[in-house]
């Protein structure tokens, strides 16, 4: 484990020191390697049901799918704290089933902690006792989308704000090490953040939370049509990806790509001899005196497998073979 690995105590210490926590969603090893050096935590969210699978909500995501993506992300993580979402119906049936499924996310997926929506204090307490860290999630909880009546701001009414604060305190007392606040008025998020000793991580909850989280695809601007108020795009990769693919397709159709610099030749140069090999005679002295072939055989050109004689040019070309030590990829991409 890297010495600078972000852990649960690390995140709680950042809260005490007033240092803002950075979190992003992540769903594969390639993005994990890119994001890991720059953020404190990565979340394998059930948002994969929308941004990866193309669904209209997160409800169809299964536990096995979250495990699969978490395992992929874990392979690219050396620094960040890795959290995995517990998807819909992976913990609502019973506390026992919730404990079992949370354990799978750590054992099979390689997560460091799990995230659970709602005030599931009994489950949080049980998980904490068996050594599974829990990140709570209040406000807009997407797994309750049908109960909430859509993706709406939560906590605007006084009684809603009071309940949200009570639930936050209850989750802290149950053992949650942190809390995501989603789509909550900034005043309510500020009150909750000040009241709790554990860090709050906001998405659409204003600037007063102890940290922030965004969906990586939204941050990078892959979908120009998705424009919620809380989102700031830090790039427009959707447009840039389309431009790159358009250029690739055009070059293929025009025969520009691949060029000679992207191609392999059969007539590759042979590797030079090692210094000590160059000094040694290739044959014993008595062997050097003997002809390697019978006189009549030496006059005949060697025939290929099809039995037809080779021309002098073809014979020369055949003597130059592709260097067997040449690699298609560098070690970083795969041997």
Residues noted as catalytic: 182
Please give the distance of CA 119 from its chain centroid, rounded to a whole number.
29
Name residues whose C-beta falls within 8 Å of residue 59's C-beta, 6 or more positions apart in sequence.
49, 88, 143, 145
Measured at the CA of 264, the angle between CA 260 and CA 266, to 5 degrees, comes to 120
**H/E element holding 134?**
strand 134-139
213 touches 181 (CB < 8 A): no
- For residue 169, the tally of other CB atoms under 10 A from its CB is 15
Neighbours of 86 (CB within 10 A): 27
Q: How far is CA 225 from CA 38, 205, 221, 222, 233, in A?
A: 27, 21, 9, 9, 12
Strands (E), 157-271: 178-182, 200-203, 211-214
Give the dihedral sign, CA 31/34/36/39.
Answer: negative
């Amino acid at each position: 484990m890297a010495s600078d690995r972000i852990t649960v105590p690390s995140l709680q210490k950042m809260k005490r020191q007033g240092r803002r926590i950075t979190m992003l969603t992540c769903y594969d090893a390639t993005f994990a390697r890119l994001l890991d050096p720059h953020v404190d935590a990565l979340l394998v969210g059930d948002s994969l049901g929308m941004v990866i699978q193309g669904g209209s909500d997160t409800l169809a995501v299964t536990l096995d799918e979250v495990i699969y993506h978490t395992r992929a992300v874990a392979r690219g993580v050396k620094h960040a704290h890795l959290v995995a979402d517990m998807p819909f119906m992976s913990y609502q049936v019973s506390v026992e089933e919730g404990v079992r499924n949370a354990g799978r996310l750590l054992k099979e997926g390689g997560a460091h902690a799990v995230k659970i929506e709602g005030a599931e204090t009994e489950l949080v307490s049980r998980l904490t006792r068996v050594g599974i860290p829990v990140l709570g999630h209040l406000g807009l909880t997407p797994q309750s989308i049908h109960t909430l009546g859509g993706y709406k701001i939560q906590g605007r009414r006084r009684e809603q704000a009071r309940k949200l604060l009570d639930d936050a305190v209850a989750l802290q007392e149950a053992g949650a090490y942190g809390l995501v606040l989603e789509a909550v008025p900034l005043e309510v998020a500020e009150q909750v953040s000040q009241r709790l000793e554990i860090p709050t991580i906001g998405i659409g909850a204003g600037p007063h939370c102890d940290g922030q989280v965004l969906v990586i695809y939204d941050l990078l601007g892959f979908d120009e049509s998705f424009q919620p108020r809380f989102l700031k795009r830090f790039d427009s990769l959707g447009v840039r990806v389309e431009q790159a693919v358009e250029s690739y397709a055009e070059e293929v159709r025009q025969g520009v790509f691949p060029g000679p610099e992207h191609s392999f030749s059969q007539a590759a140069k042979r590797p030079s001899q090692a210094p000590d090999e160059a000094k040694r005679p290739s044959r014993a002295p008595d062997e050097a005196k003997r002809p390697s072939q019978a006189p009549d055989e030496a006059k005949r050109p060697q025939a290929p497998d099809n039995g037809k004689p080779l021309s002098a040019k073809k014979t020369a070309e055949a003597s130059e073979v592709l260097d067997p030590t040449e690699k298609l990829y560098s070690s970083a991409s795969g041997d």
